[in-house]
Structure 1
């Protein structure tokens, strides 16, 4: 998860270069990269879902503060793993070293069928929701837009028409501009809500589901593992960069939710399908809604393109490592793309659009689909830190988790609670996601049988 929403250029480089990384990133560089990775399109969708679970304005803000705290605890755990075991495989390598090839295979399988493809579809539904604010295409407009976006961007990647760096920068600028505009106008607005916000507390189950949505928007800090080995003076700057970046992200998320609450009120915010567009519509009418929807739709396409690009390369790597999937490990020399991996990834994403359509909750269904699997492997990542500390007591650790073992145990406890919440308080999407991962188990045994036979 995140399950993530945005994958950095540094991850792409990490997957394709074998040479050891150089410590070339300053503290401001690291902070800017982590913030850029984390803040994605989800923040334009999840606040409404969180508000629907909250009993008051204070509860909404408390959820987002807790999300920042959980992200910081997890980030320092990942920082130790990344700096101690620098490897292009990232989490795949940590799990393989701690638990063996079987668990690592299931992670790679889950990333291909659930986590990465679910993230692509989730972004596609955000695009569809906001594109529908501009021009609606019938009853299933968000799903139609989502399918078109996946098919188009997958095709462009297959024929080799990749976005340039300047294009990605412009798309990021559109996202930042949209956030700033919503914050400024929302905070200066007078609430249009006619119904008073309820003051009762949320139930324990509701809190768990709300945190699943919150941490979806914080998803991506785990990708900081790919830059930790490149930070100058990492023993000192690793923790500082995480503190600064998580602090900035938490501040931005609090401001955007304050803007929504002030401009719409809790009830209208909770009932919104495109909360940023509804806020702008209440302030500037339809032109305002159209403008912000266009900005968000464009920036979401950029995030989708990056996720499709890096996701296909993960599938290609899986095909290289496991003979059962060797057909995915073929690289098309001209125009230099993993064509088969891109086609398979696109087909899975389109199937997930169909799943979101039949449940009539496209974005929420994708959260349900990815969340249990995402938090299960996050839990295993936290446990792997404890296992590897015991297994490799003498290995050099450039960065050590503070307050060990309390910090990783706290992270594991949070992951366990969110895994429970994502299974108990979600819908049919969660069941499908778990079954898809479980389908990888017989494939694992079949791959082992083929290997022994050879």
Structure 2
């Protein structure tokens, strides 16, 4: 009996709605519930808290509208990796794909998985990160105290979650689609509900106090004291504050990775990018406005473990508020991780087809999905969960993420010159103005981080540069493309 041949092409089973929900679901994880504390500590006022989210939202929408042109030109799996290869060369594309595999996607999957566990511990306390399952002494510090490598219950649960969602996605796109549709729809409705209840039950005196001096940009310490900024330092503070909002708004490009499985990709990828990022931008701005309606700025900065949404929910719903937010974040992070896991493996699939990743990752299983890439991604994410360094890595990679976005959008200009007659079913909105604005803003953000927060820049660059020797070792023999 002959063995049935494996599929050689992906199935186009994602609709416009599926694509929009994938964008929104991948973007909304735990960030919107926690990063307001850090942002407020940098900017010190309600107005500037909202400005940071508006700037980030504008940048995200500008990038999404620009990516529409690239997605129409290259409607195939791999998304941003493909765009960089077509505009530049395989080296630039590989450095992106390497960073994506080493930390951008896998680190985000790990961080979102641990966030799921942390908030699940509000309902099931044994799942807490404080519940240490294993502990090994690895040395001693300068003071003679022992150094320990620990594994918490939260880390174990996060790995089990990632393994489960990976397994579901190896069985074809239908299971992943179902999870994405249900959990993203649920979290969007829940977030809108939280925002509406927050404004209905707002505290007028808190709102008035927060907005009385809304446009004074200054640092706000946990003790309630303010730090005045010099002009250039104030701009640097905004850039530092945006690390949190950009992290919360990342993964919007996930739908481009599944272009090979999207119905009418030349139309639906661009529309999904626009609709998904617009919905999330509106939710993020409204959620942070709601925080300023129920919590004094000092309470936002001093939220326990930065969990601003928990404190806001307590004000709105009383003692049940903690459980309400815990359930919301569990739903949010579950759906977010499904979208990240589903889309990420498609990048490795395309890299493997180019001979720049494990050959096995370029094969489809009987369900027409890249199973090997899914499990390879799962392994790296699990290792990052155990390392405990996922949060630090994500902070460090924010700089690199924006650099690659800038390079990709600059690729629109390059491709207009290189391929002026190429088919463009959709052209970048307000070209060349809007793409140019994003490039300028992105470069300014990166330059300010280099000056004011170098710890957010050089580690990310090192991760990217490690990819250089890997590229030249893995490059197919006889290839002259650099």
TM-score, normalization by structure 2: 0.75
Structure 1 residue 405 corresponds to structure 2 residue 451:
no
Q: How far is the alpha carbon of 1:387 from its aligned partner?
A: 0.8
Instruction: Provide closer, same or farther for how the CA distance between residues 326 and 137 of structure 1 changes in structure 2, counting only shifts above 3 A.
Output: same
Instruction: Provide closer, same or farther for how the CA distance between residues 147 and 164 of structure 1 changes in structure 2, counting only shifts above 3 A.
Output: same
Counterpart of 2:195 in structure 1 is 183
Counterpart of 2:230 in structure 1 is none
Instruction: Spell out the pairing of 1:3-402 with structure 2 (5 A cutoff).
Output: 17=9, 25=16, 35-36=24-25, 38-134=27-123, 135=125, 137=127, 140=130, 144=152, 146-156=154-164, 163=175, 165-187=177-199, 188-190=201-203, 197=210, 200-202=216-218, 203-223=234-254, 225=256, 234=267, 246-272=277-303, 273-322=306-355, 325-326=358-359, 328-329=361-362, 340-356=372-388, 363=391, 365-402=392-429
Q: Distance in 2 between matches of 1:147 and 1:116?
A: 17
Instruction: Provide closer, same or farther for how the CA distance between residues 62 and 155 of structure 1 changes in structure 2, counting only shifts above 3 A.
Output: closer
Q: Determine if contact 1:171/1:298 at 8 Å carries over to the other structure.
A: yes
Counterpart of 1:417 in structure 2 is 444
Q: How far is the alpha carbon of 1:356 from its aligned partner?
A: 4.1
Q: How far is the alpha carbon of 1:366 from its aligned partner?
A: 4.3
Task: Determine helix, strand or coil for the equivalent of 2:78.
Answer: coil
Q: How far is the alpha carbon of 1:103 from its aligned partner?
A: 1.1
Q: Distance in 2 between matches of 1:409 and 1:449?
A: 35
Counterpart of 1:434 in structure 2 is 461
More strand by share: 2
Q: Determine if contact 1:372/1:430 at 8 Å carries over to the other structure.
A: yes
Instruction: Provide closer, same or farther for how the CA distance between residues 270 and 366 of structure 1 changes in structure 2, counting only shifts above 3 A.
Output: farther
Q: Distance in 2 between matches of 1:23 and 1:309?
A: 12
Q: Distance in 2 between matches of 1:331 and 1:418?
A: 39
Q: Determine if contact 1:213/1:367 at 8 Å carries over to the other structure.
A: no
Q: How far is the alpha carbon of 1:308 from its aligned partner?
A: 2.2
Q: Determine if contact 2:78/2:349 at 8 Å carries over to the other structure.
A: no
Deviations 1:30-60 (A, max 9, x none): 7666555544443223333322222211111
- How big is the alpha-carbon RMSD for the aligned residues of Structure 1 and Structure 2? 3.9
Q: How far is the alpha carbon of 1:352 from its aligned partner?
A: 2.8
Q: What stretches of structure 1 of length at least 5 have no aligned partner?
A: 1-14
Counterpart of 2:141 in structure 1 is none
Q: How far is the alpha carbon of 1:389 from its aligned partner?
A: 0.8
Q: How far is the alpha carbon of 1:159 from its aligned partner?
A: 5.0
Instruction: Provide closer, same or farther for how the CA distance between residues 31 and 97 of structure 1 changes in structure 2, counting only shifts above 3 A.
Output: closer
Q: Distance in 2 between matches of 1:240 and 1:160?
A: 27
Instruction: Provide closer, same or farther for how the CA distance between residues 366 and 52 of structure 1 changes in structure 2, counting only shifts above 3 A.
Output: farther
Instruction: Provide closer, same or farther for how the CA distance between residues 278 and 141 of structure 1 changes in structure 2, counting only shifts above 3 A.
Output: farther
Task: Determine helix, strand or coil for the equivalent of 1:68.
Answer: helix
Q: Relative to structure 2, which stretch is displaced further, 176-185 or 36-45?
A: 36-45
Task: Determine helix, strand or coil for the equivalent of 1:439.
Answer: helix
Instruction: Provide closer, same or farther for how the CA distance between residues 136 and 258 of structure 1 changes in structure 2, counting only shifts above 3 A.
Output: farther
TM-score, normalization by structure 1: 0.79
Q: Distance in 1 between matches of 2:290 and 2:370?
A: 43
Q: How far is the alpha carbon of 1:264 from its aligned partner?
A: 1.5
Q: Determine if contact 1:95/1:380 at 8 Å carries over to the other structure.
A: yes
Deviations 1:332-390 (A, max 9, x none): 66x98756544432332234335545xxxx64x24313312211211110111111111
Q: How far is the alpha carbon of 1:70 from its aligned partner?
A: 1.6
Which is greater in Rg?
A: 2
Deviations 1:120-161 (A, max 9, x none): 023124323422333265664698355224421343356557
Q: How far is the alpha carbon of 1:298 from its aligned partner?
A: 2.9
Q: Distance in 2 between matches of 1:93 and 1:186?
A: 43
Q: What stretches of structure 2 of length at least 5 have no aligned partner?
A: 1-6, 133-150, 219-233
Instruction: Provide closer, same or farther for how the CA distance between residues 323 and 396 of structure 1 changes in structure 2, counting only shifts above 3 A.
Output: closer
